[in-house]
Structures are given as structure tokens and as C-alpha cells.
Chain A
Amino acid sequence: QSALTQPASVSGSPGQSVTISCTGTSSDVGGYNYVSWYQQHPGKAPKLMIYEVSNRPSGVSYRFSGSKSGNTASLTISGLQAEDEADYYCSTYTSSGTFVLFGGGTKLTVL
């Protein structure tokens, strides 16, 4: 099964907001509220930033928020900071035998 579709790259200046999209189908993103978002810095393990579409784990900045409309989920990062520069991945449960789909990743560059 194909991965979820994310833009390859996004960029923004410090203080600005950026939004990363994650598009799937009604069998995955659109059908379940299990969308998660992960931040990964080079050489590090991914870090959970958003779970169940819009929930932030303890310790994650309020600048990170998530939403979903139909088959597309979105991660918005407001007040961009240099340390936000990283790769971001979405994931969700899927009713296929794969159980979990990940997006291909989006590289965020803070200009």
C-alpha cells in the first residue's frame, strides 16, 4: 500500500507559521482519528509531536498543533524557531493488512 502523501519540503522564516499536509484515503487518514506526527533530527529517533489528530504529549510546545479534514491531516508549527528545522512524518492506522502507514516525510527548513 502507498505511503501517505506529504510535501517533500517546506520552509519558513523565524516567527512565521508553516503547515505540513498529509493526504491519505478514507481507509486510513479519513477513517480513523489515529493520525500522529513525528519530528526527526538527523541521526536521532523520531519524536512524537501530535497524536490522535490534535493532541500534544506532555512536554511538546504549544506551537505545534494538528488537525484533520476529510482524508487530509495537517501539522501547523507557529512561531518558527531554528530548532524546529527537522524532518516531519505523519502516520495513521489503516484498515489494510499493513496496520500502519507513514508519510514519506517533509523536510522543514527554517530560513
Chain B
Amino acid sequence: QVQLQQSGPGLVKPSQTLSLTCAISGDSVSSNNAVWHWIRQSPSRGLEWLGRTYYRSKWYTEYAVSVKSRITVNPDTSKNQFSLQLNSVTPEDTAMYYCASGTNWKFHYWGQGTHVTVSS
């Protein structure tokens, strides 16, 4: 059973960088059978997939076109976790952020969620 534990600040100032971490237990971030995702949810935008990272002999990342210029998803093999960085945030980025895992575009395991507010 995979468990995902999120951490990171709940308040970010406009134009700054949103940073969240997702610690993995029950699997390895480097597993050749796993894919690691970030998804957010807000009343205005609904559920929105942001990006993913996975290892298949080398690391791959893919991002949604809506955030591609501002997002980085990085694995951290030393801590068995992965992270989300979203630059130049605006109030439109206020949302509940989830990490998740799953292959073939399904999201089987979810973190507990982190509500991030973008406000000065």
C-alpha cells in the first residue's frame, strides 16, 4: 500500500514560488513501475492535472501546457520523495494541491492535500 505525505506552506505571496513536497512510503520514487503526479483543485478551475515524473532507465517529466512555463516537478531519490515548484504565482493559483501516484493516467493513491492560498 503506497502512502503519500505532503508538506509545504499554505500561504504564498504573489509573484513568489509555491513549493510542496510529497514523501513516499510503500514504494520507491525510482520504481520502474510507478508514476508520480501533482494535481490541484479549486472551485473555479475544478480538478487540474499539473505534471508528472517517472523513472524508466532515466528520468522523465511532463507538464500541462497551462503551467508548463512555470512548473518544475523533481524527484529526490535520497529522501524517496518528489516535489512541486510553481513560479510567479498569482491568486489564480490558490487551490488544494494533491500529490498522487498511478500508471496509465489513473491516480490510485493520493496525498492528504495542501491548501495553498496566494495572497499578500
Contacts and interface: CB of A to CB of B under 8 A. Distances in A.
Contacts, number: 61
Nearest to A3: B46
A38 interface: yes
B110 A51 contact: no
A98 B66 CA distance: 7
Interface residues of A, number: 25
Say whether chain B's binding surface is mostly helix, strand, loop, or mixed: loop
Interface in A85-100: 89, 91-93, 96-100
Interface string B54-91: 00000000101110100000000000000000000000
A18 B49 CA distance: 27
Nearest to B64: A98
B46 A52 contact: no
Contacts of B62: 99
A36 interface: yes
B65 to A, nearest CB: 4
B5 interface: no
